[in-house]
Amino acid sequence: MAESLEHLIDRLREVEAQIEAAFAARATDHDAKHAVERDAVGKPCFKADALRRQKVHRKTLGLARVPLPTLLTMPLIYGMVLPLVILDVSISLYQLGCFTAWDIMRVKRSDYVVIDRHRLGYLNLVQKLNCAFCGYGNGVIAYAREVTARTEQYWCPIKHALKVKGSHERYRDFQAYGDAEGYLANSGAYRERLKRGL
């Protein structure tokens, strides 16, 4: 007999939890191996000797060796900072107003926007700048996605008729397309879960 969809989803969540635990254990082993510590506020930092060993591997800037197409695209890359900052501020204001009004738990921005690779001693100044840009850009997009996913869960937790590529984690629990009874019966429960941060 085939397993129910709910049972498969429960099994998937159990495996996801095991994967997260394995990643956490690997990170702990990695931190010990590479002398990563935590400062007073929990940010990663290195012992002085570990940082010294990293700096041995740092490459010089070498801008003369940068291929011309890369140099030409730099304004396009760093030009994205302005739209990202606008998105960041807009999403923060949006959730401050809307999520407060709807009485649902707000998304913690610092869980998504993480900029810490500039502390790595083996990166030169340009590499650190690039890493800060990517950490910020991907973090803002992930933050905006979670705010939008919670909005969708609040207003329209219904799956699409067509397959959606790269759907957010909340999507799999939404009501089936065309299931009017399920939608009406469960809309309140979706909203209540958001109030508890689920």
Residue-wise pLDDT tens digits, 8-55:
777 888 888 888 888 777 766 655 555 566 666 667 766 666 666 666
User: How sure is the predictor about 160, in pLDDT bands with cuts at 50, 70 and 90?
Assistant: very high
Q: Which two tokens stand for residue 37?
A: 């510590």
- CA within 13 Å, CB half, 140: 18
- CA within 13 Å, CB half, 42: 2
Residue-wise pLDDT tens digits, 88-119:
999 999 999 999 999 999 999 999 999 988 88
The pLDDT assigned to 66 comes to 74
Helices then strands, counting H and E runs in the chain, come out as 6, 2
Per the CB < 8 A criterion, the answer to whether 51 and 114 are in contact is: no
Which of 50-59, 128-137, 152-161 shows the lowest mean pLDDT across its residues? 50-59
Q: What is the mean pLDDT of residues 164-192?
A: 87
Domain boundaries of the chain, sorted by first residue: 1-33, 34-195
Reply yes or no on whether the pLDDT at 1 is more than 50.
Answer: no
The pLDDT assigned to 82 comes to 96
What pTM does this model have? Answer: 0.75
